[in-house]
Amino acid sequence: MSETDRRTAILLIHCPDRRGIVAAISRFLSEHGGNIVDLDQHVDTEQGVFFLRAEWELRGFALPADGIAEAFRRELAEPFDMTWRLHFSDERPRMAIFASRLAHCLYDLLARWQTGELAVDIPLIISNHDELRPVAKRFGIDFYHLPVTPETKAKVERQQNDLLADYRIDFAVLARYMQILSADFIQAWPERIINIHHSFLPAFAGARPYHAAHERGVKIIGATSHYVTEDLDAGPIIEQDVTRVTHRDSVADLVRKGRDLEQLVLARAVWLHVQRKTLVYRNRTVVFD
């Protein structure tokens, strides 16, 4: 089967819950001859909201790819008051990486990109330090060193925005980027900036979480990947994971053990985002996994 033949369409929706939504959507797909590859739905009964992710093959589907959106809007989205996105499996999002001095998350993302696990293009790395330039060079990616000071921050963010535009970036990953982005910057990229925080949020938000965890004497540490919002470390959580520690572990041990968590959790979150498996509603994610 050729690549074209395997192309799928992916629909992500949420709408007020009511009877008959699944029936209507599945009828829409089956009447046009869609072979459903994956169908996952969820009802938040407390909030009365219906969520759905559907993926179906374009081969044999009666509607042309560029006609689906219009038909869906008319037949389903408007009658059911849906918020929705339509994607195609052969889109290849363009991803930028922001980093500082720590290389582990950067290396991990680049390796997953090289092995084909992450179906993205990575044309751009931005850093407020110059240390990771050799890593970018090693993988043939453009690297921009944009140091940030309180005075230059606004100007640097404009440069960053220009770069994201120039490189036609779809979403950005903060791979242990140790700068806080401004509200303006964040608002321009809603649900399109993914961060990794080195704690089990909401515990130990803010700076130096491993020191704080050590001080508190916790027996488990974690890492959290989330979409960035204006509230620091408080955006919708995509993925978390943890590992055990003991009184024997110094802060340096927590840092070492935490690195594995950070790169793993960030990689999973980016993968879920790229696979169009995440949906945000009122600061929480629905992860169709």
Does 33 bind its own copies (CB under 8 A)? Our answer is: yes
CB 24, min distance to its own copies, A? 8
Among 94, 104, 133, 192, binds its own copies (CB under 8 A): 104
74-82, 90-98, 107-115, 181-189 -> range binding its own copies (CB under 8 A): 107-115
Draw the binding track, 200-239, toward its own copies (x: CB under 8 A; -: no contact): xxxxx-----------xxxxx-x-------------xxxx
Closest distance to its own copies from the beta carbon of 143 (Å) = 15
State which of residues 176, 197, 198, 259 lies at the interface with its own copies (CB under 8 A): 259
Min CB(86)–its own copies separation in Å: 19
Binding mask 153-192 for its own copies (x = CB under 8 A): ----------------------------------------
- From 23, 64, 66, 149, residue interacting with its own copies (rule: CB under 8 A): 23
Which residue in 148, 102, 98 sits closest to 124, CA to CA?
98
Nearer to its own copies, 148 or 236 (CB): 236
Q: Residues 265 to 284: which contact its own copies by CB under 8 A?
A: 267, 283-284
Q: Which stretch binds its own copies (CB under 8 A): 8-16, 26-34, 63-71, 188-196?
A: 26-34
CB of 149 vs its own copies, minimal distance in Å: 27
- Per CB under 8 A, contacts with its own copies among 188-207 are 200-204
Crossing angle of helices 251-274 and 104-114, in 10° steps, is 30
Binding to its own copies by residue 43, rule CB under 8 A? yes
Residue whose tokens read 């939504």: 21
Residue 137's alpha-carbon distances to 126, 131, 256, in angstroms, are: 13, 11, 26
Q: Which of 6, 138, 158, 168 binds its own copies (CB under 8 A)?
A: 138
Active site residues: 233
CB 179, min distance to its own copies, A: 21
Give the binding-site size for its own copies (rule: CB under 8 A): 71
129 binds its own copies, rule: CB under 8 A: no
Contact window for its own copies (CB under 8 A) among 62-70, 71-79, 111-119, 158-166: 111-119
Contact predicate 109/267, CB 8 Å: yes
264 binds its own copies (CB under 8 A): yes
Of 36, 47, 55, residue with least CA distance to 14 = 47
- Report cis status (omega within 30 of 0) of the bond before 134: no
* Minimum distance, C-beta of residue 59 to its own copies, in the bound complex (Å): 13
Instruction: Write 28-36 long-range contacts (CB < 8 A, 24+).
Output: 28/72, 28/75, 28/76, 29/54, 29/56, 32/61, 32/62, 32/63, 33/60, 33/61, 33/62, 34/9, 34/60, 34/61, 35/59, 35/60, 35/61
